Chains A and B, each alone.
Chain A
């Protein structure tokens, strides 16, 4: 898998060439069995389509966008919102751009909590947006609450 990363301030980008093998590996890991997602013998291989949640693999680009306050020792993924415009296929080159869209502080069930939302936009080699992925992450202190459970 060819991959390039670039970090500029609060915006971060990641470019990947999508190989059929990566899609098959993801399909197996998520239990997908439909031939559209799993037919390794598809001709041409570009017919292989990414499984429904493959967009998740681009969310690592948010690692350089989200920040964890020093008083917080834990974070959990709390929500996602995805809009798909066209499928990701084997052979595509996808550039993911991540930006922090919102940061808020609140008192939640785990005490003082920081809620961060980041938006990831996936654009293919034709310059078309294939998906947008909004990710919400909550960070908090387990030392203050004494428990990770609700």
Chain B
């Protein structure tokens, strides 16, 4: 797949475009940093003994943090001066643990002033952990 270059204008968006992928490693320090910035101190994200006792492999990455990285695929391609994020629906399919994650996206549909994107994140096993549908709107 050939990834689309960074856009200068909304008119450049076409159906089938592949968004730039983003590969990163989410560390425990990232979870601490996010917890502080988002006021999200739910124990599932920091209490490893509790999570291991409950049968999980580790603490779970905040779903919103995973999605924030998925959004970076969008904002690095169609920046906030080109398109605004009008809406999105996210589904968290399985827990994501600290470690490698890959994010990507595809333009599913384009109308006059909106574009619908399919976004995903996969874990190091290549399993989809989070999927989303996002609607971008032209910045007038």
A interface, CB within 8 angstroms of B: 22, 25-26, 28-34, 36-37, 49, 51-53, 56-57, 59-60, 73-84, 87, 142, 145-150
Interface residues of B in 75-114 (CB under 8 A from A): 75-76, 79-81, 84-95
The answer for the CA separation of A144 and B40 in the assembled complex, in Å, is 27
A76 touches B92 (CB 8 A): yes
For residue B33, CB closer than 8 A to chain A, the reply is yes
- Minimum distance in angstroms from A4 CB to a CB of chain B: 14
Counting residue pairs across A and B whose Cβ atoms lie within 8 Å, the total is: 118
Partner of A82, one of B39, B51, B60, B87: B87
A145 touches B55 (CB 8 A): yes
- CB-nearest residue of chain B to A23: B37
The answer for the CA separation of A25 and B71 in the assembled complex, in Å, is 17
The answer for the CA separation of A52 and B31 in the assembled complex, in Å, is 18
- CB-nearest residue of chain A to B57: A149
- Minimum distance in angstroms from B120 CB to a CB of chain A: 15
Partner of B40, one of A56, A81, A145, A149: A56
B92 touches A32 (CB 8 A): no
The answer for the CA separation of A140 and B117 in the assembled complex, in Å, is 32
A26 touches B56 (CB 8 A): no
B interface, CB within 8 angstroms of A: 24, 30, 33-34, 36-40, 44, 51, 54-57, 60, 62-65, 67-69, 71-72, 74-76, 79-81, 84-95
Partner of B54, one of A53, A77, A142: A142
Going nearest first, the 9 A-B pairs with the smallest beta carbon separation are A148-B56, A29-B37, A30-B68, A147-B55, A56-B64, A142-B54, A148-B55, A26-B37, A52-B71
The answer for the CA separation of A30 and B38 in the assembled complex, in Å, is 10
Known: A30-B65, A60-B39, A75-B44. 8 other contacts (CB 8 A): A51-B68, A77-B92, A81-B88, A83-B86, A146-B55, A147-B56, A148-B55, A150-B95
Residues of chain A lying within 8 A (CB to CB) of residue B62: 77
Residues of chain A lying within 8 A (CB to CB) of residue B87: 81-84
The verdict on A74 contacting B94 (CB below 8 Å), with A26-B37, A81-B88 known, is no
A36 touches B33 (CB 8 A): no
- Minimum distance in angstroms from B118 CB to a CB of chain A: 15
Partner of B75, one of A28, A32, A57, A150: A32
Q: Pick from A37, A79, A148 the residue with the most CB of B within 10 Å.
A: A148
Q: 25 A-B Cβ contacts within 8 A?
A: A26-B38, A29-B34, A30-B34, A30-B68, A30-B72, A31-B69, A32-B72, A32-B75, A36-B79, A51-B71, A57-B40, A76-B92, A76-B95, A77-B92, A78-B92, A80-B64, A80-B89, A81-B89, A81-B90, A82-B88, A84-B84, A84-B87, A87-B84, A148-B51, A148-B95
